[in-house]
Structure 1
Amino acid sequence: MAESADGRRAAVPAWLVSVLLHASLFVALGVTLELTPEGSAEELLRDVGIVLKKTDAETGEAEYDGEDEVLTEDSGQTATEALDEAIADGPPTDLSSALPSEEDWLGSAQTESGSLDAGNLVGDSTLQRTPRKGTTSTQVFGVAGEGSKFVYVFDRSGSMERSLGPSPLKAAKVQLLSSLQSLEANHQFQIIFYNQEPFMFIPRGHGDNLVFADERMKLEAEQFLNEIAAVGATTGREAALLKALQLQPDVVFFLSDVDNPLTPRQLKKIRDRNKGRTSINTIEFDRGPPKGGANFLKQLARENGGRYGYVDISKLDSYYDTTASAKCQALLGKPAVAPTLIGLIFFAALFFSAPTMTVAEDVVVLAAGANRNSQTRIAGEVLDYDGAKLVMRLTSGEEREFPAEQVLEVLPERSPAHQQADEALARHDYETALSLYRELKNKEVRRWFRQLLIANMVECYQNLGQLEVAGETFLLLVADNPNTPYFDRIPLAWAPNEPSPQLAQHARAWLRRDDVPAAVLLGASHLMSTNDRPAVLGRLERLQLHHDPRVGMLAQAQSWRADVASASEDDLQQWQQVIEAAPAALRGGPYSVLGQAYTQQQEPTKAALALLRVPINHSQDRELAARCLFQAAELLQRTGQNDDAMQLYRELTEDYADRAWAGPAARRMESLEAKQN
Structure 2
Amino acid sequence: MSSLGATPTTAEAPPPFASSSRGGMPAWMMSIFLHVCLMTTAGLMFAVSEKGTEQEIDRPIGIALVQAMPDRDKYQIQPDQQRQVAVEGEANDASVAALSAAAPPAGLNAPLDLQGILADLSATPMPGSNGSIGDALQASEATRPGTNPLGDGGSQPTTTKVFGVSGTGSRFVYVFDRSDSMNGYGGRPLQAAKTELLKSLRTLGEQQQFQIIFYNNRPSPFRPIGSMNSMLVGSDEIKASAEKYVKGMRAFGGTQHEDAIKLALRLKPDVIFFLTDARVPRLTGLQLRSIRARASKAGTTIHAIEFGADGASPSDSFLQELAAQNGGQYRYLDVRSFRQDGQWDGQPES
Where does residue 155 of structure 1 map in the other structure? 177
SS of the aligned residue for 2:184 comes to: coil
1:251 aligned to which of 267, 271, 275 = 271
The one-letter code matched in structure 2 to 1:288 is D
1:313 aligned to which of 311, 314, 335 = 335
Deviations 1:379-420 (A, max 9, x none): xxxxxxxxxxxxxxxxxxxxxxxxxxxxxxxxxxxxxxxxxx
Cα distance, 1:275 vs structure 2: 1.8
The one-letter code matched in structure 2 to 1:299 is E
- Between the aligned partners of 2:213 and 2:155, the Cα distance in structure 1 is 27
**What does residue range 494-573 of structure 1 map to in structure 2 within 5 Å?**
none
- Between the aligned partners of 1:140 and 1:304, the Cα distance in structure 2 is 17
Cα distance, 1:256 vs structure 2: 1.1
1:197 aligned to which of 215, 218, 230 = 218
Cα distance, 1:162 vs structure 2: 2.7
Deviations 1:589-612 (A, max 9, x none): xxxxxxxxxxxxxxxxxxxxxxxx
2:260 aligned to which of 214, 235, 240 = 240
Q: 1:287 to 1:204 in 2, by over 3 A?
A: same
Where does residue 232 of structure 2 map in the other structure? 211
- Between the aligned partners of 2:185 and 2:311, the Cα distance in structure 1 is 22
- Between the aligned partners of 2:184 and 2:205, the Cα distance in structure 1 is 33
Deviations 1:526-566 (A, max 9, x none): xxxxxxxxxxxxxxxxxxxxxxxxxxxxxxxxxxxxxxxxx
The one-letter code matched in structure 2 to 1:251 is V
- Between the aligned partners of 1:295 and 1:267, the Cα distance in structure 2 is 13
Where does residue 60 of structure 2 map in the other structure? none
What stretches of structure 2 of length at least 5 have no aligned partner?
1-153, 346-350
Deviations 1:253-276 (A, max 9, x none): 000122221111111111112225
The one-letter code matched in structure 2 to 1:239 is D
Q: Could you say which structure has the greater relative contact order, defined with CA pairs below 8 angstroms and 6 or more residues apart?
A: 2
- Between the aligned partners of 2:211 and 2:224, the Cα distance in structure 1 is 10
In the alignment, is the contact (CA less than 8 A) between 2:185 and 2:336 conserved in 1? no
Where does residue 136 of structure 1 map in the other structure? 158
Where does residue 319 of structure 2 map in the other structure? 297
What stretches of structure 1 of length at least 5 have no aligned partner?
1-131, 319-328, 335-341, 343-677
Deviations 1:11-61 (A, max 9, x none): xxxxxxxxxxxxxxxxxxxxxxxxxxxxxxxxxxxxxxxxxxxxxxxxxxx
Q: TM-score, normalised by structure 2?
A: 0.52
Deviations 1:426-477 (A, max 9, x none): xxxxxxxxxxxxxxxxxxxxxxxxxxxxxxxxxxxxxxxxxxxxxxxxxxxx
Q: Does 2:297 match 1:271?
A: no
- Between the aligned partners of 1:162 and 1:316, the Cα distance in structure 2 is 12
- Runs of 4+ in structure 1 off by over 4 angstroms are none
Q: TM-score, normalised by structure 1?
A: 0.27
Where does residue 175 of structure 1 map in the other structure? 196
SS of the aligned residue for 1:260 comes to: coil
Tell me how many residue pairs correspond in the alignment: 189
The one-letter code matched in structure 2 to 1:241 is I
SS of the aligned residue for 2:292 comes to: helix
Greater Rg by CA: 2
CA RMSD of aligned residues (A): 2.0
- Between the aligned partners of 1:288 and 1:308, the Cα distance in structure 2 is 16
- Between the aligned partners of 2:312 and 2:158, the Cα distance in structure 1 is 30
Deviations 1:112-132 (A, max 9, x none): xxxxxxxxxxxxxxxxxxxx9
Q: 1:288 to 1:295 in 2, by over 3 A?
A: closer
SS of the aligned residue for 1:161 comes to: helix
Q: Which structure's residues are more often helix, by fraction?
A: 1
Where does residue 574 of structure 1 map in the other structure? none
Deviations 1:628-662 (A, max 9, x none): xxxxxxxxxxxxxxxxxxxxxxxxxxxxxxxxxxx
**What does residue range 436-475 of structure 1 map to in structure 2 within 5 Å?**
none
Cα distance, 1:227 vs structure 2: 2.4
